[in-house]
Amino acid sequence: MVIAMRPTNYRQQVYEACRQLVRMTRPAAERRARPQTSEQENKIGNELMAKGSDLLVAALANEGVDRIFGLPGEENLDFLESLRNSTIELVLTRHEQAAAFMAATHGRLTGQPGVCLSTLGPGALNFTTGAAYAHLGAMPMLMITGQKPIKSARQARFQIVDIVGAMRPLTKMTRQIISAASIPTIVRDAFRVAVEERPGPIHLELPEDIAAEAADVGLLPPHPIDRPIASPASLDRAVAMIFQAKHPLIMIGAASNRPRLVEHLSDFVRRTRMPFFNTQMGKGAVTGCSNQYLGTAALSERDYIHDAIDRADLIIAIGHDTVEKPPFRMGEVAGGPKVIHVGYVSATVEQVFHPDAELIGDIGATVTSLADRLTGRLHPDPEILALREHILGHINERAEYDKFPVIPQRLVHDVRIVMPEDGIVCLDNGMYKIWFARNYRTHLANTLLLDNALAAMGAGLPSAITAKLLNPHRRVMAVCGDGGFMMNSQELETAVRLGLDLVVLIVEDSAYGMIRWKQAVDGFSDFGMTFGNPDFVTYAESYRARGHRIAAAAELAPTLEAALEEGGVHVVAVPIDYSENTHVLVNELNRRAPGIEPD
């Protein structure tokens, strides 16, 4: 029997390979001399071994990671040193929640996991909102948290919380790394799980002693992930349903808004010539310039887009994810439209969504196969297309109204004027989100980032920072309510420090406006929803940003344009008149369907 032996310099080769992967590309003069203690601790005889943190950073680089968002602590120091000697950029944030929002947005815009870093205990727990944001929003993300040593307990239970347990309901996978030698395998699996449909967050906990532990394992190369395709039988069944329908309608949902699907979906709409609408998070997956575009279902019922939905006898729901508020309600009216669900995974059956047929598999391949079977065999539905001007005409009413404080329609109109087709608007969460979802016309995918899943406040500014880092030559604007802005306003310093060109538009009503409106609609007294604000101009200047206050409706668009043109970080505060919420979303729409309360 012949036994293959490792070469005597095997550990040295592994060590050097890892060091090569994480070696910085900056000039040597910019690097500090690395302390010798970490290398001495990881010697076996005269051979040097990679330590756990080196392996982790090398494995991240191996997966294509070029940026990590975070706020490190004492338990991350080995990892931080390995990161310092790598090509990966550390974006230091002022709060861990913001770092998680940034990493999730990276995943949303690129399709590849964004990475964020925190210490143990309180720092790691600050990731939980961002984890839920990515989990419900299907955004691939990797969270790395530190932990005390697991092979000794010299600080007893100080700051120790079961973060792995806390992350379990908020992630697709959560693990503590208990051996440095397992790091390459764990990281490869983490990235695979994060991007598989349905995408989402992964959590890895790196204890302090494992980060310093020597290991002599190699890295695993990334491998392509093949997605299943819908069966011919299911495609034929769906085609038969479409041919039988008199008024088919396409709905573009959240899972359609993946970067890789833009061409497939746009081609499907063009070839089939069927009219379409989108959910809030499906907005932009197919260009809004199409003559087949009918609008966005920003509400669940009663809005003008529901004239087309109510007329349809078949809805082809592409990528609908029931984490979104329902774009329409199934089963409440006898004889309502049938639904074909097109998705990566089977539909979640809900009281308001229970499809009659499903096409399960890669959405891009599925809609291409459908188009191949339908091209040239369908004729545009004149009845639904005739509604298009009616729907869009009502949506655009009062868009140039000069009243001050500005009304929401004017706010959306003026933002659209100053943002080019490829400009990116990142919304926080508040009453204005409904107006942007309803009124803002998108021309390209992922140019209006909103959250209709967790709907967390505080994500607007961090999301815009990531959008600008990924798209330095495109205009980027964060739109935040005064409540949501103050939840992560400290990241203004991050944006200024990074030298970003970014405009933050603060919609100011000195209240938690959406809940206050709902409170009034439901007949409750006005209580517990109002607050005071700082002087946002002075506040911006304290962070070395530029501050502006709008004093007339006519000032809004010119001020935004000047700020975008000048560059740097600008904060623009604009007072808002939310009486339109009641005028349009209650009174006007209630006249169309009396007795139905808004959601």
Peptide bond into 410 cis (omega under 30): no
pLDDT reported for residue 77: 96
Exposure b/e, 109-124, CB count within 10 A at least 16 = b: beebbbbbbbbbbebb
SS3 label, residue 133: helix
The full set of domains in the chain, from first to last, is 45-215 (3.40.50.970), 232-392 (3.40.50.1220), 398-592 (3.40.50.970)
The pLDDT tens digits along the chain (599 residues) read 333 333 434 344 444 555 555 444 343 333 333 333 344 444 433 344 689 999 999 999 999 999 999 999 999 999 999 999 999 999 999 999 999 999 999 999 999 999 999 999 999 999 999 999 999 999 999 999 999 898 887 776 787 899 999 999 999 999 999 999 999 999 999 999 999 999 999 999 999 999 999 998 999 999 888 888 999 999 999 999 999 999 999 999 999 988 888 889 999 999 999 999 999 999 888 876 678 899 999 888 888 899 999 899 999 999 999 999 888 877 554 457 899 999 999 988 888 888 999 999 999 999 999 999 999 899 888 888 788 888 888 888 999 999 999 999 999 999 999 999 999 999 999 999 999 999 999 988 889 999 999 999 999 999 999 999 999 999 999 999 999 999 999 999 999 999 999 999 999 999 999 999 999 989 999 999 999 999 999 999 999 999 999 999 999 999 999 999 999 999 999 999 999 888 888 887 777 665 455 55
pLDDT reported for residue 597: 52
- In the sheet with 293-296, reading across from the earlier edge strand, the strands are 293-296, 276-278, 248-252, 314-318, 338-343, 357-360
pLDDT reported for residue 582: 85
Beta strands 476-481 and 424-427, pairing class:
parallel
DSSP per-residue codes, 305-318: HHHHHHH-SEEEEE
Reported pTM: 0.90
CA 547 – CA 571 distance, rounded (Å)? 5
Q: Would you call 91 exposed, middle or buried from its count of C-beta atoms within 10 A (0-12, 13-18, 19+)?
A: buried
Spell out where 208-313 has E strands: 214-215, 248-252, 276-278, 293-296
Nearest to 378 by CA among 179, 568, 241: 241
Peptide bond into 405 cis (omega under 30): yes
Beta strands 448-449 and 424-427, pairing class:
parallel
**Amino acid (one-letter) located at 486:** M
CA 64 – CA 563 distance, rounded (Å)? 34
CA 206 – CA 77 distance, rounded (Å)? 11
SS3 label, residue 17: helix
Rg (CA), the chain: 26
pLDDT reported for residue 177: 97
pLDDT reported for residue 387: 87
pLDDT reported for residue 19: 54
pLDDT reported for residue 353: 87
Spell out where 11-88 has E strands: 43-44, 47-48, 50-51, 67-71
pLDDT reported for residue 259: 81
Q: Which two tokens stand for residue 86?
A: 């790598």
